[in-house]
Each structure stands twice: as structure tokens, then as C-alpha cells.
Structure 1
Amino acid sequence: MINWNNLDTLNAYKKLLSLKGQVNLSQALSASRVKEYQTPMAAGLAYNYAAKEVNEQILSVLAELSAEQQLIEKYQALLDGEVINTGENRKVLHQLSRGQAGKDVFFQGKNLRDFYAGEQKKIADFAASVHSGKIVGSKGDRFASVVQIGIGGSDLGPRAMYLALEQWAQASGKKKMEARFISNVDPDDAVAVASSVELAKTLFILVSKSGTTQETLANELFVKDLLKKAGLDPSKHMIAVTSETSPLANNPGYLASFYMDDFIGGRYSSCSAVGGAVLSLAFGPETFAAFLDGAHAADKSALESDIRKNPALLDALIGVYERNVLGYPSTAILPYSQALSRFPAHLQQADMESNGKQVNRRGEAVRYATGPVIFGEPGTNGQHSFFQLLHQGTDIVPLQFIGFQESQAGADVVVEGSTSQKKLCANLSAQIVAFACGKQDTNPNKNFPGGRPSSLIWGKKLTPEALGALLAHFENKIMFQGFVWNLNSFDQEGVQLGKVLTKKVLSGDMDPALKAYAEIFGL
């Protein structure tokens, strides 16, 4: 039997509180610790936590916390199709879209494993027809570009994944089409994207589960108007990714429709048709399949009960210790890889929309901190931006570094005795030690206190399999932390109020304060 208990009722949590401050990073960090405090991940990646403020005793109690809160059992229940999203009374099945381990999941007589696999096959066949020239634009032109129209999870994840693989695909001869993304309802976004492609050779993907998303439909109409003005038939240049019950389903206004359902939230949808359509068109179905394989391998490793062999679980538990025992309010995601330039933005939504909650699964107020603020930028740019605060500011911000031994492009140049890639990795290595150990100086402006904890996820090269494993690692970390905090990590009521008030502004039904702000913009 699974029990859904608040964190502050657990015996292991009370033990953790007594262990605060046991580890002095500047003294603890050593070569042997760097080698010992590391666990393998899927797809050849590794998770290193040597620069975290944990020791054997703390890790032992974290293992007790995992067992007491039944984290693996809850994950298995999710995989088996139990209703985990209590706020919306839904299953949570994004792992199923990449071939989850475990039994088949049914809903209203439909085998959902077969449904997701079938949509992937339909997308693969469609992409092959586009690449071969069997499907062409309204003037007979072969498609050279694809533009995804979506917002939130329909944009952030797929955009981050596309950018992460674009250089790899170019170097590997796998790039089939250029991809662009329109998300902001600001017309400047759509104009900028549309002007960067040749409309006659461009296929647009409209992504809206409900088929009624305000910003997405506004951008769709904007694009359709541009197509018509260019003498093109929009129905020959658009496909839809939606639910089977939406007005976009089986609509003659689209070349094809591909389906998702309510069991996969937007921020977890990169492995579904939401990410599958654009990634399969841009890089080929086999590349998307490899991406799913990496994610599936990470999902399987997340079932390991030994926290030292389960990187997503270990990362989650250390994060809970930092948030609830050490009191750190933020976490910085720092990929030393330009390919992952939008990965922190995706994780902002994935984490903060999931665990930015103040009530538990039963709607009761919790009395402890929950999800941290997530932010980040790629290195080395971040070093010349906000690292000043991270090194010498009054708040301690835990850091999650990501790095690779090799670049995706393979092209490099030797400058002052080393390549650019070696310089990148040297900077990453230096930052970890600088944050942990600091530097004593008689000049207060040059004194670095150290004691800034970090982890490192690293691998040889960012490939589709590695990217899938990296994505699933963080999705599973977020899930485990939500379980620890006894939250429903799979609804997002916090985004709804603004939508309601926006409709009031546009309809003219406003209270005085709202009207005063609207009048600033002439509404």
C-alpha cells in the first residue's frame, strides 16, 4: 500500500535536519572524492556529486527518506497507469511515449502504448514522404523548412531539443530541414520567423492539445494570412498536433493531424507527437527514435532502489536536502555546451510549473519549502554575466553543470596551445573547484568564500541518445522531488488565472484596477 505523506511527517526528514552543516566543501573536495562520488547514467553519461555538501551519513539518511516516502513504488505506480495527477484526475504517461518498462496501460479500451507508438509511426511515414518529395507545397515545391507554432510546452521543449541536435545533425549528414519556432503572440515574433523562410517551401506545425489555445490560434491566423497573400493554399502547408477531440482533428484545413492526449502534460511532451513531428521532419525519424531510446534507458535506471545507482533519484534527494535543510532557494542550470542554449529555459518550465506549489496532493497547505527557482545560461557566457553573484553574493545557489569532452561539429582551432573545446572544459573544471573551495585574500573584494555546491553531468558528446537521457533525467528528478514534497507535479493551475483575466480585458468586462492597466495600452 502506498502512503502519500507530507515531508515534515517523515522520521528520515527529522534526522536530516540534525545533519545540517556537516560538510565543509573546501576541505572535503579531493581527487578521491571526485572519483568516488559519481554514478553512471544512461547513454554513456555520468552524474558527479563530489562538490555537493553530502557525506556517507547524509547519503544514508537520504536513502532512508527515499524508502520511507516510497519513491520507487510511487514511480512504478505512475508507470503502471494509476491516477497520479490528482488535480485533474488523470494518469501521467509521458514515459509511455518512449516505450516505458512495465505493463500495458489502457484507457476506455484503448492500449495507450500502442496509441503512442502508432502516432510515432504515422509521423515517421509522413516525414519520409516529405523528405522524398512525395508531399510538396501548393505550388509543387519540396519543403525545405518547418515552423512549429505553439506556446509553453509546445515550444520550449521541442525548441530546446532541436537546437541541441542541430549542429550534431549538420555534422552527421542527418539534417533534413531547417526548423523555426513561433510562440509569442507578439506579432514581431511571427513576422521575424516568416521573413527568415521561403513560404512556398515551408511546412507549418500547429500544436494545440485543445485546439483553442489563444496565442497559438492567433499566430496560426497570422501565418495563414501571410500564406494567402503569397498566393499559397494554407491547407497544403500546415499540419496539426492536437487531441482526437479537438476541432483541429481530421480537419481538411491541414495536410495531416497527429495526436496526443491529456495524460501527457505540455512540459513533458517533447517525446510525444509535440516534439516528434518537428524533430522527425528536421533530422529524420531515426534520429527521433534514437532520442527516445536514450530517454527510455534513463527511465529504466530510475527504477533502481539503491540511490547510489539511480542518478535521477540521487539528484532529486540531494536537491531536497539543499532546499529543505540547507535552505537554498534557487538552482542554476549551467550547460557548457552551446547546443543546450535553451535547455535551462525548458527546465524552468518543467521544474517550476511542476513543483511550484504550496498545497499537497490533497489540497492542504504545506509548511515547508517546495520547488526552487530555476535559471541558467550556457558557459562560458554565464561566467561573464551572473557568476559574480554566484561566487561572492550573499545567497548560496546550488549549481548543476553539464559538459562534454567533444564538440558536436568536430571543427576546432588551436589557440595558445589548446583547442577551443579544451578551453571550454578547462573553464568548467575550474569553476567547479572555484565555487567549492573559494580563495582567501586579505583584500575583501578579492576574497571568495567558497562553499558553493555543484554537480556535474558529463559525457563524451551530445548525441540524440545522450540528449534523450539528459531530458529524462531531469523529468524524473522533478517527479521524485514532487513525490518527496507530496505535491501533484502534473497540473498547472497557476497559469490559468492570467488567462481568465486576459479574456476579461479583451471582452471589456474589467474591474477598475484591471481597466486602469488595460487603458495604458489603449485597450
Structure 2
Amino acid sequence: MEWKNFDLLESYKKLENISPVEIKELMAGENGAKRVREYQLPMGAGQLYSYAAEPVDDTILDVLQGLADEAELIEKYEQVYNGAVVNTGENRRVLHQLTRGQLGEDVIADGVNKREFYVSQQKKAAEFAEKVHAGEIVNEAGEKFTTAVQIGIGGSDLGPRALYMSLENWAKVNNTLKMEAKFISNVDPDDGSAVLASIDLSRAIFVLVSKSGTTLETLTNESFVKEALIKAGLNPAKHMVAVTSETSPLAGNPDYLDSFYMDDYIGGRYSSTSSVGGVILSLTFGPEIFARILNGAAEEDILAKNKDIRQNPAMLDAMIGVYERNFLGYSNTAVLPYSQAMIRFPAHLQQLDMESNGKSVNRFGEPVSYQTGPIIFGEPGTNGQHSFYQLLHQGTDIVPLQFVGFKKNQMDNDIVIQDSTSQQKLNANVAAQIMAFACGKEDENRNKYFAGGRPSSIIVGEQLIPEALGAILAHFENKVMFQGFVWNVNSFDQEGVQLGKLLAKKVLAKETDGALTAYSELLGIF
């Protein structure tokens, strides 16, 4: 197994010298229709990954296959799920795939079978949730809890919040919404105040998520919530559970109803399928729905084992992204779900991608001489069309686009207006945008001219159900992992978030000088 910088690979030189293709030509006329039908492959949960509007042909795909082989992407993935220490920055294993299935060998770490450990925590969360739903765990007045509030930040908030919001309306229609969820993440007191003002405190259960038990923002918000509970005459210990590591000060603490565990082998942005997401989603949707999310993710993880990029959607997506980033010079990627339920999914992918591959040194701490992770942004369609699509269509930068769309809406509630339903109108916009970006429009009036040649892919599913959501989640996790392997960066640490934290602590301790003191004065800290 070799970990080599991207520009030292033979495939890098081949990609430098390969002739680019014109999307506009590939997608025009009947040839375009044929291409759409051929340039797609199955994903988990019966979905499809379509890459017809990407700037690749069979020649380029063959070179990208050679890149995947030369960079030993599948062998490195095997190392991940078999428990090798691939997080070199923190000297840790990377085991989030084990939360949803056994892909290879037993992973024994610290004397524990880690798959069995994760399953035991899922079972513990399920049993706790079922007792809450059955009224066996209640508030001081003997009343059932009706709201679950997650207190966490970063990976302890973004992924679980995105998953909850993606299924909230589906769960209402399918009578599986057991409790409403709320989330407090920002240390801004307005965030916590707004949530607390919107719920019945006496019937709320709070899920405090901090692996170390020392996260400043999370512990500050915990104190904020505890004070509100005490003022309301409530005992915080009867309203709070902890999701943490077994060695943290929160573990087994009598100040909490119960504790659920994760470990150092699952990074925050990869933790949605661990107890970090499992507790809140089991409380709100029920353990069966959380299990269905895991099943969808497991399906996608299995597909990611295939060495053939034409049969491995995550690896193909990753290789196309590398080609666009490093050889076509595209520095941004827009994530555009045509589902309002996925409104927070782009925010989760921002952290997943930019915290993982936003690195300028390789796995050994040496500077790299090529571009790594792109800037990720996005918004659901059709709202985004009336916001930033102007730049995407006619701006000076070409931005690759990742669409997500579903044939059916979640709530089975629609109406025919002007001979078509709202869902048909939504999906007509997806199809139209893909073609508008790819083929553009000729016009003598340059203000109305669209150059086209703007690449995109789309994930298409029947309906946004738990399995589909899990598969989409795992698709992007695996895409980011494969790209990190190609760029030879460590996708599993996040030193970039630490410096600001350290300086903030200095400010609060009044151990500042120079401009830091001046900014502290400007902001009214002292």
C-alpha cells in the first residue's frame, strides 16, 4: 500500500494531456437522449446516479478508472473498514461504516469488538426511546415527553438536524413522528432562547452531545438550558441525557437520565449514524426508522467496494470531481436538492467536504502543489433558481452542480394547476436546469446568451424515504473519502477549527494583546 501525492501518479500526467470534451455537443439532440439513458448507474435504495451532463466520455472514464486503480482506492477503503489507523493526524481508526454494517474483518480495538459496541449502543438508544414513547420514562408530573432537543455543534448538530428535517414531514404523513425535534447549536444566546420559547419545557428531553464532554459552546448551552429548567421549577437531571465517550466527565453522570456512547474512531461529521444521530432520531421517529436509515447507508457502503468506477457511484462521483477540480480548474461545487425537506443537507455537506478535504498538506504534513477540496454551497430548488443561479448560468466561473430529485413528494398532497401537479412542475425545473446549464442558448443579444458547458450530475429516487436518505448520506461520505485518498490528505482530522477556539479562550481569560485586544474592545467583551 502506497500513499503518494496525486501529482506523482502516472494517471495525473495522463489527465494533464487528455483532450477535454464539450458537454454541449454530448448532450445535444438524440445523442443526448441516448447518453442520459446510458450514463447512469444504480445507487442504494433503488436510486440512480446520472452523470450524463458531466464532461466525461469513455476515454476519460478509462483514465479515471486507471487513476482509481493506481491510487489503490478500494484497497484503502478496505483498510478503513478493517480498522487500520488511517487518521494519521490523530493516530486513530476510522469506523463510521461499522455503525451500519460489517464490511470486512472484525475490528477489535481497546479489547472491544467495535461492531458489537456500536450495535449495543443502538440497542440501548432504541430501548430508551421505546420507554419514553411508552410512558415508562416521564417527567416529574408523570407526563410523557413530547419534544426532544439536541444540544451540540458541528457534527453533533448538522448531520442529525439534516436527517431529521429530511424526514419530518414524511414521518408525519406515515404516523411515525413520535416526538418533535429541536436543535440548539450556536453559542449565540438567541439560538437557545428561541428554541426554549417554542417548547413546553416541562415535557422536553434534552440530548447533550459532546464526545469529549468539554466542548465550550455545547457546555455553555447546557448551562443555559439547565438554568431555564431550574427557573421553571424542574430538575435538569430528569430532563437530560448525554451522548459522549465512555471516558468523558459526562459518562455515567447522575446529572443525566442516561448516557449513550461513541468513541474517538468516529469523527463528528461522520457521526450521524452513530449515537450522535441515533438517540435523537430514535426518540423522534422511532428505532425502526433509524434502522432503515442505517440500512440505506449500508447498501451504499457495499456498492463502494466495487473496483469498477462504472459500478461504484461514490467513486465515480469522486473521480469526476477530482478531474473537474484539478484539470478543469473548477473551485466550487453547488449541491442542489429539489426537495424542500433537504434544506439543511447542503449545510451538512459543507462540513463533511470542507472540513475533511480542506487541507494544504498531505498525510505526512508536507505541502501539496495541487488543489484539494472545493468550496461547497447549496440551497433547495426552486428557491436557488431565484437566488444564485444567475451566476451559475452566466457568471465567469463554471461551477459543477450536484442535483438530487425525487419522482414523488413526501406528503402525498398535491394539486393539478394548469394541467400539471406541483411535483411535476418541480421536476420539470430540474430537467430544464440540467439542459440549460449543459447546452445553453444562442442569442445575438449577449445579455440573453448562455454559453452552456456547465457540468452537473443528479441523484434520482422514487421518494425521499429513510433508506434513500441513508444511501445519499453514505454516497457523499464515501465520495469525500475517495477524493481524500487521491489527494493524499487526511480526511479525518480537523486541525483548522482549533486555532480560533484557542484564541477565543485567551480572549475570555483576558490574556490578549495587540489587535486581538482591540477587537475584543470593539465587540464589547471588555
TM class, shorter-length? over 0.9
Query: Which residue is equivalent to 1:27?
Result: 25
Mapping for residues 312-327 of structure 1, pairs under 5 Å: 312-327=314-329
Q: Normalization by structure 1: what TM-score? A: 0.99
CA distance in 2, matches of 1:172, 1:290: 14
- Give the 3-state SS of the residue equivalent to 1:91 in structure 2: coil
* CA distance in 1: counterparts of 2:500 and 2:513, whole angstroms: 14
Contact 1:171 1:409 (C-alpha < 8 Å) held by counterparts: yes
The Cα offsets for residues 87-120 of structure 1, whole Å up to 9 and x where unpaired, read as 0000000001111311110112111111000000
Deviations 1:11-30 (A, max 9, x none): 11110111142x11111110
Q: How far, CA to CA, are the matches of 1:330 and 1:274 in structure 2?
A: 29
Cα distance in 2 for residues equivalent to 1:386 and 1:483? 32
Q: Which amino acid aligns with 2:343?
A: S
Deviations 1:100-150 (A, max 9, x none): 311110112111111000000000000000000000012222100000000
Deviations 1:43-63 (A, max 9, x none): 111100000000010000000
Give the corresponding residue for 2:48.
Answer: 46
Which residue identity does 2:6 align to in structure 1? L
* Pair 1:310-2:312 in alignment: yes
> What secondary structure does 2:247 align onto?
coil
1:183 counterpart letter in structure 2: S
Letter of the 1:48 partner, please give it.
S
1:213 — aligned with what? Answer: 215
- Give the CA deviation at 1:298: 0.4
In structure 2, what is the Cα distance between the partners aligned to 1:168 and 1:385?
Answer: 27
2:103 counterpart SS class: coil
| Paired AA for residue 264 in structure 1 | I
Indicate the percent of aligned positions where both proteins have the same amino acid: 65
Q: Give the alignment partner of residue 164 of structure 2, picking from 162, 165, 175.
A: 162
CA distance in 2 between counterparts of 1:20 and 1:128 reads 59
Alignment partner, residue 405 of structure 2: 403
**2:376 counterpart SS class:** strand
Q: What is the count of residue pairs matched by the alignment?
A: 521
Deviation per residue, 1:434-456 (Å, 9 max, x gap):
00000010001000000000001
In 1: Cα distance, 2:18 partner to 2:331 partner: 19
One-letter code aligned to 2:13:
K
Aligned to 1:473: 475
State whether structure 2 residue 139 is matched by structure 1 residue 140.
no
Instruction: Report SS of the residue matched to 2:143.
Output: coil
Residues in 1 aligned to 2:336 and 2:425: alpha-carbon distance in whole angstroms: 16
Residues 154 and 266 in structure 1, CA contact (< 8 A), matched pair in contact too: yes
Aligned residue type for 2:24: S
- Is 1:456 the counterpart of 2:458? The answer is yes
Q: Which amino acid is 2:127 matched to?
A: D
In the aligned structure 2, how far is the partner of 1:309 from the partner of 1:111? Answer: 31
User: d(CA) in 2 for partners of 1:24 and 1:109?
Assistant: 55
The AA in structure 2 aligned to 1:480 is F
Letter in 1 for 2:169: Q
CA RMSD after TM alignment? 0.5
Aligned pairs (5 A) from 1:108-507: 108-507=110-509
Amino acid at match of 1:101: L
Partner deviation per Cα, 1:32-90 (whole Å, 9 max, x = no partner):
00000000001111100000000010000000000000000000011100000000000
- SS of 2:484's partner is helix
CA contact (8 A) 1:20 1:326 kept: no
Secondary structure (helix, strand or coil) at the match of 1:483 reads: helix
Rounded Cα–Cα distance in structure 1 between residues aligned with 2:372 and 2:41: 26
Distance 1:138 1:357 in 2: 49
Is this contact kept in 2: 1:20–1:325, CA < 8 A? no
Aligned partner of residue 478 in structure 1, secondary structure: helix
- Output the CA distance in 2 between the equivalents of 1:100 and 1:338: 33
Distance 1:334 1:404 in 2: 12
Gaps of at least 5 residues in structure 2 are: none
CA contact (8 A) 1:313 1:480 kept: yes
| Counterpart secondary structure, 1:142 | coil
For residues 72 and 458 of structure 1, what CA distance do their matches in structure 2 show? 25
- What one-letter code is carried by the residue in structure 2 that aligns with 1:296? A
Amino acid at match of 1:370: T
1:390-431 CA-partner distances (Å, limit 9, x unpaired)? 000000000000000000000001111100000000000000
SS in 2 for 1:390: helix
In structure 1, the residue matched to 2:108 is 106
Contact 1:139/1:232 (<8 A) preserved: no
Work out the CA distance in 1 between the residues paired with 2:422 and 2:102: 39
Q: Tell me what 2:13 maps to.
A: 14
Equivalent-residue separation in structure 2 for 1:139 and 1:227 (angstroms): 14
Give unmatched runs, 5+ long, in structure 1: none
Against the structure 1 CA distance between its residues 35 and 325, is the aligned structure 2 distance closer, same or farther, given a 3 Å change threshold?
same
Taking the aligned partners of 2:363 and 2:352, their CA distance within structure 1 comes to 18
Q: Which letter does structure 1 place at the counterpart of 2:153?
A: I
Give distance in 1, aligned partners of 2:122 and 2:105.
20
Aligned partner of residue 260 in structure 2, secondary structure: strand
Contact 1:97 1:272 survives alignment (8 Å)? yes
Hey, what's the Cα distance between the residues in 2 that align with 1:128 and 1:50?
45
Distance in 1 of aligned mates of 2:139 and 2:198 = 17
